[in-house]
């Protein structure tokens, strides 16, 4: 199951910071606008990796079971015996003689043929849990580890239980046999607790845990649990009660990082949207938006896109219409500003002016320009609103980052009707008509010519 998702950047045409909330977020009023600068996500979800065979690959069985068993045993001893297979959860597994003996005992000839790829079956098998040793019957074995694998013989799927024994010398391949995953229910002896500890790895392991793998083309973002994409995938799987899936997400970054363009938020929103598509809309639209709200202030906007008046901490949306605009975005390559820093500077500025004079604290939450956006709503159908664009966060950022003002001045000089820092910065956008020549822009500025768009997350357009 796979989908490719296009996740657009956003700019803030207006951003008014009203007050800091008890939960640490800020009340804002903003007009957010999606623009035609996109990251792309390639999302894959698989329950199990299937090991493929062709009938031509498999040993021939002529009906003489004894002779066939001997040939299979000889093959196993020549190719596998005493070798080690690495399983992603269990680690090293030794292939011993007992493995082929038990496998022959529990399988008919057609299934026995699958032994020719026993290493691949073990490597790609899903870890299900543990089973305690039969009392007083198998001396020296502490427990059995149960794996579940799928074999594909020219389109015919065969389900296999693989049993790995563990004794004081380590883990050893014991046997496989035909068994459907659905039989691993509460009636079986398989332990399905999430706090089972593998003795030689000393880590907690959920036998039916999901696996999330991130990769991408950028060296400026992490590909681990700290990435919003990982968090979105994990949150989605838990909310949808999906277990035992391997999720692989490739992030193609085109939106600059830490730039005030919501690249990370858009990627996370795209992950929620894409996974829900893969799993046939297992969650409702309201549930997806609820997850988005849990993750950040602008994820709901990223899902919907277009032009939206956003209120509260940014998660409440009201769609409006604006004229089509030509936008140029400039991001200083070596300048990064986090939202946390931008809002902290705003809070310090508010506190400073409030201390000077509570009565004249024009930056205070009490006297913030709450009616500005309502006023703009009436004239958004006209180009005249361009001159009235505003971002409160500039007041705390510009004194410490003069390069942002330099970019604003450059864009005005180039004929832009207005230029403004987007979100928490440091990206600056300008609105222009006709053509604009940026050939003399500084080499350490990333420049993007984009247009306003009326949509959010969508499948990749090829």
Query: DSSP letter string over 363-399?
Result: TSSTTS-TTHHHHHHTTTTSGGGGGG-EETTHHHHTT
- pTM above 0.75? no
pLDDT for 302-334, tens place per residue? Answer: 999 999 999 987 788 999 888 899 999 999 999
Q: What is the pLDDT of residue 321?
A: 84
Is the pLDDT higher at 170 or at 25?
A: 170
Q: Which residues pair with 15 in a beta bridge?
A: 30, 391
**Cα–Cα distance measured from residue 392 to residue 368, given in angstroms and rounded to the nearest whole number:** 9
**Cα–Cα distance measured from residue 423 to residue 26, given in angstroms and rounded to the nearest whole number:** 13
Q: What is the pLDDT of residue 383?
A: 62
- What average pLDDT score do residues 263-284 get? 96
Intrachain domains 2-47+209-319 and 326-459 with the same fold: no
3-class SS at 105? helix
Residue 415 φ/ψ region, left for φ over 0, alpha for ψ in the -120 to 50 degree band, beta for the rest = left
Provide the token pair at 142. Answer: 């502490």
pLDDT for 179-212, tens place per residue? Answer: 865 555 433 444 433 322 233 333 333 445 688 9
**Cα–Cα distance measured from residue 266 to residue 297, given in angstroms and rounded to the nearest whole number:** 11
Q: What is the mean pLDDT of the chain?
A: 85
pLDDT for 351-366, tens place per residue? Answer: 777 666 554 544 444 3
Q: What is the pLDDT of residue 384?
A: 60
Q: What is the pLDDT of residue 121?
A: 95
Dihedral over Cα of 85, 86, 88, 89: its sign: positive
Pick the CATH number of 326-459 from 2.60.40.10, 3.30.70.890, 3.40.50.300, 3.30.160.20: 3.30.70.890
Identify whether the C-beta of residue 436 lies closer than 8 Å to the C-beta of residue 451: no
pLDDT > 70? residue 109: yes
From 235, 245, 251, select the one nearest 212 (Cα to Cα): 245
pLDDT > 90? residue 114: yes
The least confident of 164-178, 218-232, 355-369, 402-416 is: 355-369
Q: How confident is the model at residue 126 (pLDDT cuts 50, 70, 90)?
A: confident
% of the chain with per-residue pLDDT over 90: 60
Provide the token pair at 377. Answer: 């709503």
pLDDT for 35-76, tens place per residue? Answer: 999 999 999 997 767 888 998 889 988 889 999 999 999 999
pLDDT for 393-435, tens place per residue? Answer: 999 999 999 999 999 999 999 999 999 999 999 999 999 999 9
**Cα–Cα distance measured from residue 268 to residue 147, given in angstroms and rounded to the nearest whole number:** 32
**Cα–Cα distance measured from residue 123 to residue 210, given in angstroms and rounded to the nearest whole number:** 16
Is the pLDDT higher at 171 or at 184?
A: 171
Is the pLDDT higher at 196 or at 285?
A: 285
Neighbours of 270 (CB within 10 A): 31
Neighbours of 300 (CB within 10 A): 25
- What average pLDDT score do residues 130-144 get? 71
**Cα–Cα distance measured from residue 167 to residue 169, given in angstroms and rounded to the nearest whole number:** 5
The least confident of 74-83, 100-109, 124-133, 439-448 is: 124-133
Is the pLDDT higher at 382 or at 101?
A: 101
Distances (CA, A) of 386 to 31, 52, 306, 426: 12, 59, 17, 20
pLDDT > 50? residue 457: yes
Provide the token pair at 413. Answer: 């000089």
Q: Which of 154-163, 240-249, 451-460 has maximum average pLDDT?
A: 451-460
Neighbours of 91 (CB within 10 A): 14
Q: Does domain 2-47+209-319 have CATH number 3.30.230.10?
A: yes
% of the chain with per-residue pLDDT over 70: 84
Listed by start position, the domains of the chain span 2-47+209-319, 50-205, 326-459
Q: How confident is the model at residue 462 (pLDDT cuts 50, 70, 90)?
A: low
pLDDT > 60? residue 99: yes
Q: What is the pLDDT of residue 406?
A: 98
Identify whether the C-beta of residue 441 lies closer than 8 Å to the C-beta of residue 447: yes
Q: What is the pLDDT of residue 138?
A: 61
In terms of Cβ atoms closer than 10 Å to its own Cβ (0-12, 13-18, 19+), residue 280 is exposed
Distances (CA, A) of 254 to 23, 165, 298, 458: 32, 49, 19, 16
- What average pLDDT score do residues 264-271 get? 98
Altogether, the residues listed in the chain come to a count of 462
Q: What is the pLDDT of residue 373?
A: 55
**Cα–Cα distance measured from residue 251 to residue 217, given in angstroms and rounded to the nearest whole number:** 7
Identify whether the C-beta of residue 177 lies closer than 8 Å to the C-beta of residue 106: yes
Q: Which residues contact 194 (CB under 8 A, 6 or more apart)?
A: 204, 205, 206, 207, 209
Q: What is the pLDDT of residue 386?
A: 78
């Amino acid at each position: 199951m796979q989908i490719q998702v296009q996740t657009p950047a956003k700019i803030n045409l207006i951003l008014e910071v009203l007050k800091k909330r008890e939960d640490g977020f800020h009340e804002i009023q903003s007009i957010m606008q999606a623009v035609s600068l996109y990251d792309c996500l390639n999302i894959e979800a698989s329950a199990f990796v299937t090991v493929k065979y062709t009938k031509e690959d498999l040993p021939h069985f002529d009906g003489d079971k004894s002779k066939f068993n001997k040939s299979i045993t000889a093959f196993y001893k020549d190719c596998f015996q005493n070798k080690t297979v690495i399983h992603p959860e269990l680690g090293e597994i030794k292939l011993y003689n007992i493995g082929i003996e038990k496998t022959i005992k529990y399988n008919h000839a057609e299934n026995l043929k699958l032994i020719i790829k026993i290493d691949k079956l073990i490597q790609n098998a899903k870890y299900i849990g543990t089973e305690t040793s039969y009392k007083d019957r198998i001396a020296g074995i502490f427990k059995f580890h149960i794996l579940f694998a799928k074999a594909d013989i020219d389109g015919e799927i065969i389900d296999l239980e693989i049993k790995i024994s563990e004794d004081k010398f380590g883990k050893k391949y014991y046997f496989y046999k035909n068994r459907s995953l659905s039989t691993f229910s509460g009636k079986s002896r398989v332990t399905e607790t999430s706090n089972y500890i593998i003795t030689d790895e000393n880590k907690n392991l959920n036998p039916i845990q999901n696996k999330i793998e991130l990769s991408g083309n950028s060296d400026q973002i992490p590909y681990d649990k700290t990435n919003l994409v990982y968090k979105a995938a994990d949150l989605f799987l838990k909310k949808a009660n999906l277990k035992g899936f391997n999720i692989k997400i490739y992030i193609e970054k085109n939106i600059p990082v830490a730039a005030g363009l919501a690249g990370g938020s858009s990627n996370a929103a795209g992950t929620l949207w894409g996974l829900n598509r893969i799993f046939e809309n297992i969650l409702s639209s309201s549930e997806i938006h609820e997850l988005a709200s849990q993750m950040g202030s602008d994820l709901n906007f990223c899902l919907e896109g277009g032009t939206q008046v956003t209120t509260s901490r940014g998660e409440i949306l009201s769609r409006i219409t604006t004229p089509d605009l030509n936008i140029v975005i400039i991001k200083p390559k070596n300048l990064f500003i986090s939202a946390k820093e931008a809002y902290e500077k705003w809070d310090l500025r508010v506190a400073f002016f409030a201390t000077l004079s509570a009565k004249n604290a024009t930056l205070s939450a009490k006297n913030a320009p709450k009616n500005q956006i309502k006023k703009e709503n009436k004239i958004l159908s006209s180009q005249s609103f361009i001159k009235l664009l505003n971002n409160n966060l500039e007041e705390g950022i510009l004194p410490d980052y003069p390069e942002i003002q330099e970019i604003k001045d450059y864009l005005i000089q180039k004929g832009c009707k207005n230029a403004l820092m987007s979100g928490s910065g440091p990206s600056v956008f300008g609105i222009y008509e006709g053509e604009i020549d940026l050939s003399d822009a500084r080499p350490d500025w990333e420049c993007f010519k984009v247009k306003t768009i009326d949509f959010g997350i969508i499948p990749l357009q090829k």
